[in-house]
Amino acid sequence: MKYLHSFWAVTKREWIELRRYSFNSLVGLALYIGMFAALFSGAKYIGQNNYALNDSLEGFLISYALWFMAMAAFSDTANSIIDEARKGTLEQLYMTEIPFVWLLISKNMISTIIFSSLFFIIVQFQMLITGIQLHVDIISIFVILFIGLFSLYGIGLIMAGLGLLFKRIQNLLGASQFIIVGVMIVSPTDIPLVKLLPFVHARELIMSIMRRGISMFQFSLYDWLTLFLNSSFYIIVGVVLYKLAEKEAFKRGMLGQY
């Protein structure tokens, strides 16, 4: 029950921050959509009515929206921990009997709901701008996102751990945007090992849902296992490495400094 109360407290805080700073979020969303419209117009102008290009534009549309999601998910964990350390609230979060990792997982679950909602809004706008029609099976997409995003939260935890110890890691976080672009582009069909990267398989499954209208119930056991194992692996590695960084931070007394 205690865990439920703490989950609810985190949910409420996220909602308060989202509502209070909604203008900022809306501007960010508008910029993303505006940038997409500009990129799409350029691509269309170059490709004219090329059928192959139209086909790849579908992929571009989904990849762009997923990139937004992945960026937000990945930086959310790292930035929020670094921000809490900077503000001085991180120590207070460590002063509860509820483990900090649970508070973090609670936050990630709420964030997934928020990011998924933003994803659906972006996709709707993109379809409106491009005239491309995609299959928006909300439940299937949400379930895949919910599981898949945990792999990126794992990477975010590694970054947060580095942030606790080395403080100024903004450049590293900035550079990682390009790595995520890579993750959104590389295809496991060409290089099968790519499937081991975080979120790649989730991206492939979402592509299948949106382009081919496949429901999550049609995915094979192999698909589900790959998705689960990929996310579990990265979140476990993330938690373990974060815990190591946390231990060092406890030793050096760096939890409240930034």
Partner 1 sequence: MKVESLKKVYSMKGKKEFIAVNDVSFAVNKGEIFGLLGPNGAGKTSTIKCICGLLQYDAGEVLVKGHSMQRSRTKGLNHISAVLEGNRNIYWRMTVEENLEFFAGINGIASGKTKQRRDYLLKQFQLEEQRNVVVNNLSRGMKQKVAIVISLITDKSIILLDEPTLGLDVGMSQDLRQLLRTIAKEEGKTILLSTHDMKVVEETCDRLVIINQGKTVAHDTVENLMKLTNQHNYRIQMKDCIPAEIKQKIKQITVKFNEQKNDSSFTYQITIHNPNDLFEIMNLLKISNVELISLERTNYDLEEVFMNLVKGVEKNEISS
Residues near partner 1 (CB under 8 A) = 1-3, 5-6, 8-10, 12-13, 16-17, 20-21, 87-89, 91-99, 103, 247, 250-253, 255-256
Give the nearer residue to partner 1 in terms of CB position, either 87 or 212. Answer: 87
Q: Minimum CB separation from partner 1 for residue 117, in Å?
A: 22
Coil/strand/helix, residue 213: coil
Are 154 and 234 spatial neighbours (Cβ–Cβ below 8 Å)?
Answer: yes
Give the nearer residue to partner 1 in terms of CB position, either 85 or 145. Answer: 85
Contacts of range 202-206, beta carbons closer than 8 Å, 24 or more positions apart: 202/144, 202/145, 202/147, 202/148, 202/149, 202/151, 202/227, 202/230, 202/231, 203/63, 203/66, 203/148, 205/144, 205/148, 206/62, 206/66, 206/141, 206/144, 206/145, 206/148
Q: Minimum CB separation from partner 1 for residue 6, in Å?
A: 5
Other CB atoms within a 10 A radius of the CB of residue 187 amount to 14
Q: Which residues lie below 8 Å from residue 251, measured CB to CB, with a gap of 6+?
A: none
Are 149 and 112 spatial neighbours (Cβ–Cβ below 8 Å)?
Answer: yes
Give the nearer residue to partner 1 in terms of CB position, either 43 or 109. Answer: 109
Give the nearer residue to partner 1 in terms of CB position, either 89 or 117. Answer: 89
Q: Minimum CB separation from partner 1 for residue 209, in Å?
A: 36
Give the nearer residue to partner 1 in terms of CB position, either 94 or 146. Answer: 94
Give the nearer residue to partner 1 in terms of CB position, either 2 or 212. Answer: 2
Are 94 and 258 spatial neighbours (Cβ–Cβ below 8 Å)?
Answer: no
Q: Minimum CB separation from partner 1 for residue 73, in Å?
A: 22
Structure-block tokens of residue 219: 């995915």
Q: Minimum CB separation from partner 1 for residue 64, in Å?
A: 31
Q: Minimum CB separation from partner 1 for residue 190, in Å?
A: 45
